[in-house]
């Protein structure tokens, strides 16, 4: 009996060491050497402080900033328990609401009305009224960024053309030229916008 059990126990121990220690430590070491920025969370710093990640969306509500797409991730505001905050990175999820959900229909209608009032002559890009599957999408389409240019330029007292040029500069192409779609990282765009506004004062 012991002769039969011993190889199984040895195999469990060996595989635990290989797959539980050697492999993860090896992959972590390679990632730190080859892709240190990505391996450490693609963190974004400003004035030597981490202010976010390129991979996690943030909620920008002020008119002087570009807004992200809506997020279904919410949690109570730590500063005011009566309020909720979206883009809760520890609560990644979609809304799970189907196309016939009245709550979804009402929310999209409300968002569309607000956007229409903001820029009545331009069609509303779909990503400004729909959430992503993770609820944490850090990017918007170039069309969604373009849509917001008049509001941001007015709030910043900047020429629209300058803001449009900035959006074009911050637009990332498809990965390897074929994967995904063109996109604009909202956090990076807003940081570049702050820098632009500071340089024009």
Indicate if the pLDDT at residue 201 is higher than 70.
no
CA distance 48 to 70: 29
Q: What 8-state DSSP symbol labels residue 173? A: P
CA dihedral 170, 174, 175, 177 (to 10 degrees): -120
Residue with tokens 């632009």: 196
pLDDT digits (tens, 9 = 90+) for 134-167: 878 899 999 999 999 999 999 999 999 999 999 9
Nearest to 145 by CA among 131, 125, 173: 125
Token readout for 43 is: 């963190």
3-state helix vs strand vs coil in the chain, percent to 5: 50, 10, 40
Per the CB < 8 A criterion, the answer to whether 56 and 89 are in contact is yes
Indicate if the pLDDT at residue 76 is higher than 90.
no
Per the CB < 8 A criterion, the answer to whether 128 and 144 are in contact is yes
pLDDT at 75: 67
Largest Cα–Cα separation, the chain: 83
CA distance 164 to 143: 11
């Amino acid at each position: 009996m012991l002769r039969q059990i011993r190889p199984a126990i040895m195999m469990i121990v060996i595989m635990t060491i290989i797959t539980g220690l050697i492999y993860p430590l090896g992959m972590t070491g390679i990632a730190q050497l080859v892709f240190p920025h990505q391996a450490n969370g693609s963190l974004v710093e400003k004035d030597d402080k981490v202010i976010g990640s390129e991979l996690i969306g943030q909620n920008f509500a002020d008119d002087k900033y570009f807004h992200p797409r809506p997020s279904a991730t919410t949690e109570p505001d730590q500063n005011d328990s009566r309020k909720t905050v979206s883009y809760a990175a520890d609560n990644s999820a979609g809304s799970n609401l189907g196309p016939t959900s009245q709550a979804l229909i009402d929310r999209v209608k409300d968002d569309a009305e607000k956007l229409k009032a903001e820029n009545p002559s331009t069609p509303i890009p779909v990503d400004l009224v729909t959430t992503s599957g993770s609820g944490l999408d850090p990017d918007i389409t170039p069309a969604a960024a373009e849509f917001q240019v008049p509001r941001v330029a007015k709030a910043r007292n900047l020429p629209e053309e300058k803001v449009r040029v900035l959006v074009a500069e911050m637009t990332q192409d498809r990965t390897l030229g074929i994967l995904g779609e063109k996109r604009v990282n909202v956090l990076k765009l807003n940081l570049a916008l702050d820098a632009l506004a500071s340089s024009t004062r």
